[in-house]
């Protein structure tokens, strides 16, 4: 046949790939369609002549099949009815017309368009009329036997099939009404000779009849073996008969012997625990294997035998390689890295050391979780992470008693099963987010887990046998220590991670985040280039955070915009600069302003600590003629309101020193306000800030705009120490303050402040509130120089350098 003739006999038609269904000519079938490509093919067929080619796919799990995933022979059908079943499903009724062969796929989008060729049935070798009639009778007889062996077959359906004499229609109707696999149906569909197809059908029906009769015999045998009081064991007895008939599968006794052999092979287990497991195996052997209690015991034994009593990984410790690995994964964090290397060095000298439990504390996004992963990689230990955020039930840690329905082991045992070794590194993430309620206190359950003197025999409520946790290296993370109970905090060594400086954020973005986001979005450095000035602009204008998560999201935004420009063909290469950064992200959220650096009356910049880093907190005071009323606004807590009352009382004691009217508390109304009123604020460290703002407002003397301060004040004017100096100093550095007044008793805490911050900021320690006012109020340059000189003399040479 020539190519032109081939083209004339072929036909282009929408195609639908069927999953687990095979349609035959002269039959009607209804089914649901959910794939978008298939729905579009049906709609295309409705718009044309309602003809569609239906072909089965070889693997029903394939979501988007290609031509190699489809059978070659299918059926052309007419779409009779199309209904919308629900939002994403269409119900269709089709009638098979004739068989066709899939020659090629002309198109795969938006739907399959197939090049098909009609297949004509042949009847070679030719049979006599009597032979054909005998063959049809044989098929009907076999089909009638099949229906008798199959329960609950409607008689109307059987009579309808038996009334058909046409071999082709008889084949189609029987194939539609029998229960065989779609692969067998496809095999029969592909046979062109109808009598050859009927021979295969007879063979399949004979096998099905034998299987159905065997099932019926097994059922009768089981009923004979059953007593009136043994109906609950019907399924178990049926399984026994099936196994005996097939002579396949292990007996229940073999399963018990296998479990006991596994118990015997465990080396690192005490005799009492081994005996307990043996008793559980004996109990299992005496129970019906399909009973509920047997399933509980079997699950319990599987959990216990899955624990890594004897499995461990060989720890490799190389301080130099560890330093290189940490530097590769993280930029900065030198103090944290040094402490980790010290831990590794000690473990190298004394591998059996126990009780080294580290708690990484810091604001979100500074790399606490990723550091733990790097440590595991360095030590060649398996890594498992347990998220404790929101855990309120003690059973989440210790497990549930196996007597309860749906009981399971706790998260510690689950992590060990996941790691599959008895010496993994387990990260207890967000340990400060645990709560407690009527179900118990999970923090109390963690006391045994993190105590090296107790965790060598940790007992989970579900497992009920001790497991040695002393070989596990636990690392915990937290945003704040305030919510961690004292006994639990006492078991951990605290390592604080501070906020990142501007330069550190830039280096992290350039060395890690940009590469990560480029790879994530399918870009290369040739397709997108982010200039250094653009990175600095993103840090300054779009993010105000302690960590780098928002910074990474902004870089991801730039990558998405660049990908859109490149794919649409508008540009072949995108370069992010300070000039076009707003086009790639959005208008700048934070614009540089010198308003907070101006000298103002009654406005003082205080420093506050939050769980996500330090923040700048302004205190404003307005003095008006009145009757001595005091108004506090700004969502202040009880402690902060008390600080305001102490500040007013102390200002009354020093009124004469600053030429303040002694009766100002009677003749003036005072309004103290903390901006951003929607944010709750509390704590005592704003005391010196309130006193300074009050004195400035009452005297009209402006406060230096380049100064920030923190400290609690006593009723006698003594500046008392505060916490969180490291984070507060970072906030002052971020707001471009040049001087920070701190309590004198906090001088040792300056050791923890980053060197970059100490180079940019002058720290002034103050003992009395007069020291604060002499520096903060702009009234006499000589006084500033004098107090600066006196404070400088008080510093120890070995303390961090503080320049006044």
**What is the 3 state secondary structure string of 55-123?**
EEECCCCCCCCCHHHECCEEEEEEEEEEEECCCCCEEEEEEEEEEEEEEEEEECCCCCEEEEEECCCEC
Q: For residues 787-800, b (16+ Cβ closer than 10 Å) or e, as one string?
A: bbeebeeebeeeeb
Q: Give the count of beta carbons closer than 10 Å to the beta carbon of residue 672.
A: 26
Q: How far is CA 43 from CA 15, 52, 85, 146, 293, in A?
A: 11, 10, 15, 39, 54
Please tell me the distance from the alpha carbon of residue 514 to that of residue 559, in angstroms, as a whole number. Answer: 9
Strand 493-496 vs strand 358-361: parallel, antiparallel, or unpaired?
parallel
Residues 6 or more apart from 541 whose CB is under 8 A from it? 581, 588, 589, 590, 591
Q: How far is CA 47 from CA 51, 52, 462, in A?
A: 10, 11, 63
Please tell me the distance from the alpha carbon of residue 374 to that of residue 327, in angstroms, as a whole number. Answer: 10
| Biggest CA pair distance of the chain | 132
181 a catalytic residue: no
The two structure tokens encoding residue 42: 């049906």
The two structure tokens encoding residue 723: 């916490």
Residue 769: which region, alpha, beta or left (left: phi > 0; alpha: psi -120 to 50)?
Answer: alpha
Question: In the chain, what is the straight-line distance between the N-terminal and C-terminal CA atoms, in Å?
Answer: 100
Query: Which burial class, exposed, middle or buried, applies to 590 when counting CB atoms under 10 A from its CB (0-12, 13-18, 19+)?
Result: exposed
With both helix axes pointing from N to C terminus, report the angle between 769-776 and 687-699 in degrees, rounded to the nearest 10.
50
CA-closest candidate to residue 772, choices 727, 733, 718, 731: 718
Is the distance from CB of 650 to CB of 717 less than 8 angstroms?
A: yes
Tell me which of 499, 605, 685, 729 is the catalytic residue.
685
Tell me which of 37, 505, 728, 744 is the catalytic residue.
728
Q: How far is CA 489 from CA 454, 493, 606, in A?
A: 16, 8, 30
511 a catalytic residue: no
> Which H/E stretch holds residue 645?
helix 638-653
Query: How open is the CA angle 364-366-367, to the nearest 5 degrees?
Result: 110
Please tell me the distance from the alpha carbon of residue 663 to that of residue 655, in angstroms, as a whole number. Answer: 9
Q: How far is CA 457 from CA 368, 448, 475, in A?
A: 29, 9, 19
| Positions marked active-site | 685, 728
């Amino acid at each position: 046949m020539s190519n032109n003739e081939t083209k004339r006999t072929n036909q282009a038609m929408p195609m639908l790939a069927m999953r687990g269904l095979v349609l035959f000519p002269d039959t009607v079938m209804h089914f649901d369609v959910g794939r978008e490509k298939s729905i579009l093919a049906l709609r295309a067929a409705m718009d044309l002549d309602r003809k569609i080619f239906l072909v089965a796919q070889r693997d029903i799990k394939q979501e988007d099949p290609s031509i190699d995933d489809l059978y070659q022979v299918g059926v052309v059908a007419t779409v009779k009815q199309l209904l919308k079943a629900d939002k994403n499903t269409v119900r269709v009724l089709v009638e098979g017309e004739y068989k066709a062969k899939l020659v090629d796929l002309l198109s795969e989008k938006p739907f399959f368009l197939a090049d098909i060729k009609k297949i004509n049935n042949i009847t070679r070798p030719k049979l006599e009329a009597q032979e054909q009639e005998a063959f049809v009778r044989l098929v009907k007889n076999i089909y009638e036997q099949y229906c008798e062996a199959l329960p609950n077959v409607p008689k109307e359906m059987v009579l309808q099939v038996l009334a058909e004499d046409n071999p082709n229609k008889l084949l189609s109707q029987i194939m539609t009404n029998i229960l065989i696999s779609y692969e067998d149906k496809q095999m029969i569909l592909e046979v062109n000779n109808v009598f050859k197809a009927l021979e295969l059908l007879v063979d399949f029906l004979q096998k099905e009849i034998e299987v159905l009769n065997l099932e019926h015999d097994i059922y009768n045998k089981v009923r004979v073996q059953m007593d009136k009081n043994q109906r609950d064991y019907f399924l178990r007895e049926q399984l026994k008969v099936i196994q005996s008939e097939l002579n396949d599968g292990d007996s229940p006794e073999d399963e018990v012997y296998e479990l006991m052999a596994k118990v015997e092979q465990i080396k690192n287990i005490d005799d009492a625990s081994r005996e307990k497991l043996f008793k559980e195996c004996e109990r299992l052997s005496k129970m019906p294997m399909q009973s509920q209690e047997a399933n509980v015991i079997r699950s319990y034994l599987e959990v216990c035998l899955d624990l890594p009593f004897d499995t461990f990984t060989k720890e490799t410790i190389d301080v130099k390689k560890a330093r290189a690995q940490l530097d590769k994964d993280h930029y900065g964090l030198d103090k944290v890295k040094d402490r980790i290397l010290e831990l590794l060095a000690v473990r190298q000298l004394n591998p059996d050391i126990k009780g080294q439990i580290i708690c990484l504390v810091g604001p979100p996004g500074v790399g606490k979780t990723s550091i733990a992963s790097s440590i595991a990689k360095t030590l060649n230990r398996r890594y498992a992470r347990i998220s404790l955020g929101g855990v309120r039930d003690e059973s989440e840690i210790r497990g549930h008693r196996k007597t309860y329905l749906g009981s399971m082991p706790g998260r510690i045992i689950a992590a060990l099963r996941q790691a599959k070794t008895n010496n993994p590194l387990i990260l207890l993430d967000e340990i400060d987010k645990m709560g407690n309620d009527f179900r118990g206190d999970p923090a109390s359950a963690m006391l045994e887990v993190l105590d090296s003197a107790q965790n060598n025999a940790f007992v989970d409520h579900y497992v009920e046998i001790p497991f040695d946790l002393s070989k596990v290296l636990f690392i915990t993370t937290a945003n704040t220590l305030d919510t961690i109970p004292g006994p639990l905090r006492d078991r951990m060594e605290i390592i604080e991670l501070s906020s990142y400086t501007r330069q550190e954020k830039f280096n992290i973005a350039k060395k890690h985040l940009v590469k990560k986001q480029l790879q994530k979005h399918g870009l290369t450095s040739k397709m997108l280039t982010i200039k250094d000035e653009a990175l600095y602009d993103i840090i300054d204008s779009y993010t105000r955070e302690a960590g780098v998560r928002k910074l990474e999201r902004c870089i991801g935004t730039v990558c998405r915009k660049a990908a859109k420009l490149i794919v649409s063909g508008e540009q072949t290469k995108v370069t992010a600069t300070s000039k076009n950064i707003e086009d790639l992200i959005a208008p700048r959220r934070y614009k540089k302003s010198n308003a907070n650096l101006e000298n103002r009356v009654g406005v003082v910049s205080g420093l506050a600590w939050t769980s996500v880093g330090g923040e700048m907190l302004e205190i404003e005071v307005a003095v008006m003629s009145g009757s001595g009323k005091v108004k506090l606004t700004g969502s202040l807590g009880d402690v902060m309101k008390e600080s305001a009352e102490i500040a007013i009382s102390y200002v009354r004691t020093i009124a004469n020193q600053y030429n303040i009217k002694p009766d100002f508390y009677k003749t003036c109304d005072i309004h103290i306000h903390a901006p951003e009123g929607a944010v709750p604020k509390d704590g005592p460290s704003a005391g010196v800030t309130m006193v300074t703002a009050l004195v400035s407002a009452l005297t009209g003397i402006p406060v230096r705009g380049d100064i920030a301060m923190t400290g609690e004040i006593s009723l006698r004017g003594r500046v008392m120490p505060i916490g969180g100096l490291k984070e507060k100093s970072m906030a002052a550095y971020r707001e471009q303050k040049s001087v920070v007044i701190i309590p004198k008793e906090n001088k040792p805490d300056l050791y923890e402040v980053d060197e970059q911050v100490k180079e940019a900021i002058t720290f002034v320690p103050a003992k009395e509130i007069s020291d604060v006012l002499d520096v903060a109020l702009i009234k006499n340059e000589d006084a500033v120089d004098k107090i600066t000189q006196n404070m400088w003399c008080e510093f120890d040479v070995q303390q961090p350098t503080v320049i006044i």
